[in-house]
Amino acid sequence: MADEQATVQKESKPKGDGKADLGKRFVAALIDAAIAVVVGFIPIIGGIISAAYWLLRDGMDFEFMKHRSIGKKVMKLQPVTLDGKPVDMVTSIKRNWMFALGGVVQFLMFIPVVGWALIPVVGVISLILAIIEIILVLTDPEGRRMGDKIANTKVIEVAE
């Protein structure tokens, strides 16, 4: 684990001022959203899998992902703690819980009456949180959104 943290820290040297390019972050988010939405349409379990992906996407300890989502891997971005360590599962949940609500909405589609009644409520909450996240990532000097502030993380650009 110590070797893995050293590797992530070595590869996670920030470029420029350390603030990740917003265009890259946007494309990474689109890639992750596309994955979550497509998976979410698998009857019954899709919403659960989608929510789990959103929650755990930045903390998965798979060699090919290196503690980041597929979108961030493609766009050469890395979420790290403020002291430069890789994001673990608990930290990933703290920084991404608000996005998992989209998967919850997809799950609710398959629950007659009660689920359908909850979709507008959860959907509106999810939309409000998404707008707050977008505003914060655009206006914060370090590009840190609400999830980053809750989890004490930031997103940086990396070489690989």
Sign of CA dihedral 55, 67, 45, 102: positive
Q: Give the H or E element holding residue 21.
A: none
Please state the three-class secondary structure of 72-135 as a single string: HHHCCEEEEECCCCECCHHHHHHHHHHHHHHHHHHHHCCCCCHHHHHHHHHHHHHHHHHHHHHH
Considering the entire predicted model, what is its pTM?
0.83
| Predicted pLDDT of residue 63 | 85
Pairwise CA distance, residues 136 & 119, whole Å: 25
Q: Are 154 and 142 in contact (CB under 8 A)?
A: yes
| Predicted pLDDT of residue 149 | 97
Pairwise CA distance, residues 36 & 111, whole Å: 19
Please state the separation of Cα 105 from the chain's center in Å: 17
| Predicted pLDDT of residue 61 | 86
| Predicted pLDDT of residue 17 | 52
Q: Are 15 and 24 in contact (CB under 8 A)?
A: no
Walk along the chain (160 residues) in steps of 10 and give the mean pLDDT of each run: 49 59 96 95 91 95 90 96 95 96 90 95 96 95 95 94
Q: Are 93 and 55 in contact (CB under 8 A)?
A: yes
